[in-house]
Structure 1
Amino acid sequence: MGLTSKKLLVAVVVLAMALFVATIWLWPRLSGRGVRPVAGRVGLLFGGQLTILAALGLAINSYFGFYASFSDLLGTDQAPGQVIDYTASGGGKGGLEEMGHEDVGVSNGSDWAKAGRIDKVEITGAKTGITSPAYVYLPPQYFQKAFHKQNFPAAVILTGYPGTAESLITRMKYPQTATDHIKHGSMQPMIMIMMRPAVVPPRDTECMNVPHGPQVETFFTTDLRKSVEANYRVGNGPQNWGLMGDSTGGYCSLKIAMQNPKDFSAGVSLSGYYATHDDPTTGSLFGGSAALKNESNLMWRLKHKPVPSVWVLVTSSRKGEGNYRSTMAFIRAVHAPMQVSSIILPSGGHNFTTWDRELPASIDQLSHHLTQ
């Protein structure tokens, strides 16, 4: 059973309940002062508390999608990515390897022309050498005869940190929402590449090109785009490409769009922030460069750099969200040719429940700001 397995969570909950019952039942028998009674009481208390904490931890991880496996949690899987010659092996083109398909999880899910499809892929960057798994959502129209020659707009969808790409499907339900909204006409057909921004785990690079380190921004702007364009029917202009994410993924979406308007024309940030800094999860991001640190600050960019011709959408809550003031300051600082929209809720915390309220309108707007 894996770390995110429901069977593991149920087993730990059952064990916690069993130890609770055992504690109540056996406590009178262990009321003596001898070594064995004391050891028994300590064992029951320790075992009960440990299993309760384990159950809570598993439930929280399942909800928020922090870690995908035990090796991810413990940081033991440190194997570097390997470059694969897909032309020779018969795999995908441009550094993209298809690992399999799955249904979207809606009615008629097995009929791709009605429900769309999710491809599990692995992308290896020819320029950066970075390898990362991803899920590619293909809308129903991708499989319909009337659209067989049409290119589609594409959006990179990013989790927060650490996050798991699976949570974008199982918890936030991007593919299911897209299929439903396309069916009802509120969203235009759009391909989505779903992944986490931490493409060199466990490090949080904040999607930066780190001096003498991983070139993550280049991975997203060059490697990922070329790989997807080589394997799917997507446009190759900035007007065809956008980004969307929550928390760290939201910051990455804004920053990449603002710094690379020749590659992306739109970015959506759900509860994202507007500047980053070095911390234990990031390591040294700036290599001591004050200029690089300034350029990672989106407010600084609006004041000191040419404003890019991109559209962005930002979200926050007046009560419960820590980025409210910075979000309003960002909105006031944006000026032409850049465009900004917002979703400001009366209340809502930095969590999936809030993002569930913001996602439907946000994904619709993103799709309509991209062209085929």
Structure 2
Amino acid sequence: MSLVGGPLLVVVGIALVVVTVGAVMGGPRWGPRWVGVVQRTVLVLSAQVVALVMVGLAVNDWGSFYGSWSDLFGGSTGVVTTAAGGHSAWDESHAGGGAPALQPTHWSDAKQYTQKGELGSVELAGRRSGQRARALIYLPPQYFDAADSSARFPVVEVFPGYPGEVQQLVTRLGFPSALLDGIRAHRLRPMILVMLNPSLVLPRDTECTNVPGGPQVVTFLTQDVPADLHANLRVTSGGWGVMGQSTGGYCAAKLAMMAPHQFVTAVSLSGYYNARHDSTTGDLWGGSTKRRDLNDLDWRLAHLPAPAISLLVTIGSLEPGIEGLPGAQQFIGLVRPPMTARLVVVKNGAHNFHDYQSVRGTALAWLSDHLGAAGSQQPAFQAQGRQGDPQPG
């Protein structure tokens, strides 16, 4: 039974009712008095445990923090680490010249592609890094325009937080739907969304790092994913964007700063800008202070030339500490030309999906305005008639 969804909640809910009624009624009365005391104690404790499990499952179902039992207990995640030289499962699937054979979802059927676009799933393989990851890819309606079948589209890589699920970028944050609405209203340019989890070896949080002797996550996301998409889709070779929430926000800012030749713009939704080291990450730097510094975005801005990128930083006013509003303000204060940045503070905002959604339109508009043409760092499109942007802090 799946860890997320209604069936498990129903089963646990029934169990909660049963043990709660048993605890209230005292259970069957038989045997010595001490037996009854033990029975009732067990029933009360069981009711409490089941209630906690019920709350945990409900919160996980709402937030999609763990998508499967293997995610929860650290087993197989469906992401495979391979030796370099692997090839994508879709390399041979679009010899006809159209869109590759993405594994279909319920987003749309083939007859609706020219109106809604396509949302499909595919495995991306890393020739340089040896990593693999499954991604959800959204192709806008314009991709299927027969009158302009040679057009190439800029790409935005989109990341959830840790240990979030890629699906929540669709179900909770609604990025494909919001992009489609913006395209139809002529507020947003057509772009391809590549939604994938940057935590390639769950349950470990690699913080989008090339770990010495371990997963080469920066290489996968900045070189392998672009190469795989360029070989299989009509995408521009540069001028891409990258966006993420929380840990995904740190990844987005970090990848743009490290690979400005590929990513000219980025959006960090409640991200942070320091190099994290805790029980979920382990040693990401191989004991090297230099490696740690190079993965600390404040340090990079203070000690290295600023990259020619544009960055949107959003944060809730109630998010505290170095990973909250004070940390975001500190980072913004270090930005200097040719890098540009804007800080948007969500009034009374916190670290949750509701507040990410409140800046979703601003984030997509920023990307639309700042995505470049192939090989360019200049905007190729200016949105029109945008409304409802939160005020910058």
Question: What TM-score do you get using the length of structure 1 for normalisation?
Answer: 0.91
CA pair 177-104 structure 1, distance change in 2 beyond 3 A: farther
- 1:185 counterpart letter in structure 2: H
User: How far 1:50 sits from its partner (Å)?
Assistant: 2.1
Q: Is the 8 A contact 1:2 1:8 kept in 2?
A: yes
Whole-angstrom distance in 2 between the partners of 1:18 and 1:48: 9
- 2:354 counterpart letter in structure 1: T
Whole-angstrom distance in 1 between the partners of 2:33 and 2:311: 69
| Aligned match of 1:142 | 143
Pair 1:286-2:285 in alignment: yes
User: How far 1:363 sits from its partner (Å)?
Assistant: 1.3
Whole-angstrom distance in 1 between the partners of 2:141 and 2:298: 39
| Aligned match of 1:10 | 10
Whole-angstrom distance in 2 between the partners of 1:116 and 1:147: 15
- 1:104 counterpart letter in structure 2: W
State percent identity of aligned pairs: 36
Pair 1:160-2:180 in alignment: no
| Aligned match of 2:241 | 242
Whole-angstrom distance in 1 between the partners of 2:310 and 2:61: 33
Q: 2:359 aligns to what SS in structure 1?
A: helix
Whole-angstrom distance in 1 between the partners of 2:27 and 2:70: 42
User: How far 1:313 sits from its partner (Å)?
Assistant: 0.3
Whole-angstrom distance in 2 between the partners of 1:146 and 1:14: 57
Q: 2:103 aligns with which of 81, 100, 109?
A: 100
| Aligned match of 1:265 | 264
Q: Is the 8 A contact 2:244 2:268 kept in 1?
A: yes
Whole-angstrom distance in 2 between the partners of 1:51 and 1:112: 45
Pair 1:64-2:63 in alignment: yes
User: How far 1:262 sits from its partner (Å)?
Assistant: 1.1
CA pair 88-288 structure 1, distance change in 2 beyond 3 A: closer
- 1:202 counterpart letter in structure 2: P
- Mean Cα deviation higher: 207-216 or 321-330: 321-330
What number of residue pairs does the alignment pair up? 364
| Aligned match of 1:132 | 133
Q: Is the 8 A contact 1:86 1:92 kept in 2?
A: no
Structure 1 unmatched runs, 5+: none
- 1:311 counterpart letter in structure 2: S
Q: Is the 8 A contact 2:91 2:231 kept in 1?
A: no
- 1:5 counterpart letter in structure 2: G
CA pair 308-12 structure 1, distance change in 2 beyond 3 A: same
The C-alpha deviation readout for 1:214-273, integer Å capped at 9, x for no partner, is: 111000011011011111111002x2x110000100001001101111111011000100
CA pair 307-42 structure 1, distance change in 2 beyond 3 A: same
Whole-angstrom distance in 2 between the partners of 1:109 and 1:37: 64
- Mean Cα deviation higher: 172-181 or 317-326: 317-326
Runs of 4+ in 1 over 6 A off after TM superposition: none
* 1:355-370 pair list within 5 angstroms: 355-370=356-371
Whole-angstrom distance in 2 between the partners of 1:88 and 1:16: 46
Whole-angstrom distance in 1 between the partners of 2:17 and 2:60: 20
| Aligned match of 2:177 | 176
Whole-angstrom distance in 1 between the partners of 2:14 and 2:89: 50
The C-alpha deviation readout for 1:284-313, integer Å capped at 9, x for no partner, is: 111121111111111111111011100000
CA pair 359-71 structure 1, distance change in 2 beyond 3 A: same
User: How far 1:321 sits from its partner (Å)?
Assistant: 4.6
Q: Is the 8 A contact 2:274 2:296 kept in 1?
A: yes
Whole-angstrom distance in 1 between the partners of 2:6 and 2:303: 50
Pair 1:21-2:21 in alignment: yes
CA pair 89-261 structure 1, distance change in 2 beyond 3 A: closer
| Aligned match of 1:222 | 223
Q: Is the 8 A contact 1:316 1:344 kept in 2?
A: yes
Higher helix share: 1
| Aligned match of 1:48 | 47
User: How far 1:85 sits from its partner (Å)?
Assistant: 4.8
| Aligned match of 2:376 | none
Q: 2:317 aligns to what SS in structure 1?
A: strand
- 2:198 counterpart letter in structure 1: P
Q: 1:347 aligns to what SS in structure 2?
A: coil
| Aligned match of 2:388 | none
User: How far 1:274 sits from its partner (Å)?
Assistant: 0.5
- CA RMSD of the aligned region, Å? 2.4
Whole-angstrom distance in 1 between the partners of 2:111 and 2:254: 37
Q: Is the 8 A contact 1:32 1:38 kept in 2?
A: no
Whole-angstrom distance in 2 between the partners of 1:139 and 1:261: 25
Q: Is the 8 A contact 2:136 2:194 kept in 1?
A: yes
